[in-house]
Chain A
């Protein structure tokens, strides 16, 4: 029996608390698109993506109408292009990025992820070409997202790749400097990358995935914040329970939308990513959830503990709500996409070091962080190394999405608008990490990789 109270609660979540389905992402395998002639290969890619995703956006809009739940993004993820393009006789994969971009534009999705390579243990020919192509690819396309996995718990950290990615980030920033380094907002460096992540910019369609699949990412920091505010004076047990129950309700929406979309599109349903993903909109902030727990400002002492509680409670509530959970699953803490995070950085409370600590207990990493434009590639690489080391040792996914703001320094900010928001430039350490990152080779996997 549905009560008036329950119905009004759902309506309030959508109308006032920014509850939305952040993304329905169609994963498409391109493994059958490889061809020695790159023109043939890119033609096959364009044809396959446009054929399978032809009705994705329309279907998303239909579901939005029927259920009255906003679906903010419809997106596509594909097999890492390094694997698909490798058979082609070319040393430049920008043409593949362009084909993805055109296909995305044709079907009307705002992002397509999978200009990616997995190099945690070393590079193949295709991996190298892909990584070399990233700066130009992100410069000349609008919708393509790129990711590179440089470390896993089982294999250690490929430090050659970490250093190379430091250089690629700087070069991408340089090439897209006229857009505030927008290319870097579409480039993620990972440790332990999940192969079914529906969220950009790190989404790709993993090799163990089916031909085509629908994955869903949910979001509702505003809903969680309002629930947390209602238990202001109660103890941590009550607080965790409140978050759990709220996360359950949010995730149920994702499950419903995902299953409905999969059915309508006649493809299997993959996973729900139990994530609290903020937007720059007022009242849709993860930082504000932490502040609602009793912290004057996100980033002050106690923030890591608050985030640990939040992240775990979201998983506990969400896991019950969905048949299949995957992706990144947890609280996201991007700086530029979260009004509360931006405020905390501007006030000097939230620092890079504190963010790094926070990434030990949540689902992503150093996300959408702007650093001074003169930051050397070696320092960027060292920041990446620190972050992927956290992922490797703690057997979790971590990532870095960092934007060197060319011509800007601490006190300035970069503005992307829309979902990507704005990022205040954060200070980095001036002491050099150059000799460290230039050693080359791999940091060995930790002893707990020997589990068998």
Chain B
């Protein structure tokens, strides 16, 4: 994943998609981000225990929606696609794994 340092314009969001793999998941998620003017910084994906897991890091500095709205958009999309999509502020991960 990209270097993410604390205090680096820290308005980054980590979007996770977990579920059964299918065509077009990334396209659907990034479309929502594009419409909200959210810039994708990094994407990585893996298959764990036959589940598809994608982690996407994006910058919300210029975003047209706030975190709560983005979450609602993504959760609704997840339900439509049959996968679990969540968005969390990156501080959660930095705080937990970095002293």
Contacts and interface: CB of A to CB of B under 8 A. Distances in A.
A161 to B, nearest CB: 43
13 contacts: A1-B3, A2-B93, A2-B94, A2-B97, A6-B96, A7-B16, A7-B55, A8-B48, A8-B53, A15-B86, A249-B97, A253-B95, A256-B92
A15 B84 contact: yes
B93 A6 contact: yes
B92 A68 contact: yes
A65 B71 contact: yes
Interface string A66-93: 1111000000000000000000000000
Contacts of A8: 16, 48, 53, 55
A4 interface: yes
Interface in A366-400: none
A67 B16 contact: no
Contacts of A7: 1, 14, 16, 55, 93
A69 B68 CA distance: 13
B71 A10 contact: no
A318 to B, nearest CB: 13
A4 B91 contact: no
Interface in A5-30: 6-11, 15
Contacts, number: 73
Given A6-B97, A7-B16, A256 B91 contact: yes
Given A4-B55, A68-B92, 13 more contacts: A1-B2, A2-B4, A2-B94, A4-B44, A4-B53, A7-B55, A8-B53, A66-B88, A68-B88, A69-B88, A249-B97, A253-B95, A253-B96
Given A1-B4, A69-B92, A11 B97 contact: no
Contacts of A4: 1, 44, 46, 53, 55
A68 B84 CA distance: 13
B47 to A, nearest CB: 12
A15 B67 CA distance: 19
B95 A256 contact: yes
B89 interface: yes
Interface string B15-30: 0101000000000000
Contact of B89 (A1, A2, A66, A255): A66
Interface residues of B, number: 30
Given A4-B46, A249-B96, A253-B92, A11 B16 contact: yes
Nearest to A249: B96
Contacts of A15: 18, 84, 86
A66 B92 CA distance: 9
A67 B97 contact: no
B87 interface: yes
A280 B11 CA distance: 36
Contacts of A10: 92-93, 96-97
Interface of B: 1-4, 14, 16, 18, 44, 46, 48, 53, 55, 67-68, 71, 84, 86-99
A169 B64 CA distance: 56
Nearest to A1: B3
A67 B99 CA distance: 18
A62 B69 CA distance: 11
Contacts of B4: 1-2
A66 B67 contact: yes
A376 to B, nearest CB: 50
Interface in A315-330: 320
Nearest to A67: B92
A62 B84 CA distance: 21
A269 to B, nearest CB: 14
A67 B89 CA distance: 5
Given A11-B86, A15-B84, A65-B68, A252 B1 contact: no
A430 interface: no
Contacts of A68: 71, 86-89, 92
A3 interface: yes
Nearest to A63: B89
A69 B92 CA distance: 9
A423 to B, nearest CB: 34
Nearest to A320: B99
Which of A62, A68, A69, A249 has the largest count of B CB atoms less than 10 A from its CB?
Answer: A68
A384 B48 CA distance: 51
Contacts of B46: 4
Interface in A229-278: 249, 252-253, 255-256
